[in-house]
Amino acid sequence: MFYGKRKFSDFGQQTETSYGKFFPTAYISYKSNENHTFSLNYSKRINRPGFRAINPYRWYNNINSYFTGNPFLQPSINHNFEFSYVYKGKLSASAYFQRKLNASDQIVILEGENKTSTFANFYNASSMGLSLNYSDTFFRLWEANYSGIYHIWKPGLCH
């Protein structure tokens, strides 16, 4: 369980944000015999914006261009799922899926000759992938580790 609260005061204007969320993690592992281990896990995580992203003060690059934080920026939530298999402690394979909700990034707003850079919550994203890893020791001297990863990332706008 997480509860967060932040408060800004800027020349008489006050901004206060508070939120409470539950962030569970579940992990199940099954070893069918000495050679085969299966595991499944789920976690829900929060990604809070950094101070620069929420600080409402302006940093000027020049007379027509500045950066300002967004005190109304909200945290994003990540849902992570993973299934993995390990054979004899040497070969492992896993498949994973991640869903990111209400994510934020930097945007640029153009108004005539003026350019404002700030942060906004504007997208959701899904990613998934497969990974394969093999490690072994050869001739009692050399240790080798071979890895391969395939990853897909698909962004989308928040509704």
User: pLDDT of 115-140, one tens digit each?
Assistant: 999 999 999 999 999 999 999 999 88
Q: Per residue in 78-106, pLDDT tens?
A: 999 999 999 999 999 999 999 999 999 99
- Provide the pLDDT for residue 120: 96
Supply 15's token pair. Answer: 């901004």
How much is the mean pLDDT over the chain? 91
- Provide the pLDDT for residue 4: 64
Query: Does residue 20 have a pLDDT over 90?
Result: no
Provide the whole-model pTM: 0.77
Query: Does residue 17 have a pLDDT over 70?
Result: no
- Provide the pLDDT for residue 16: 66
Please give the share of the chain, as a percent, with pLDDT higher than 70. Answer: 87
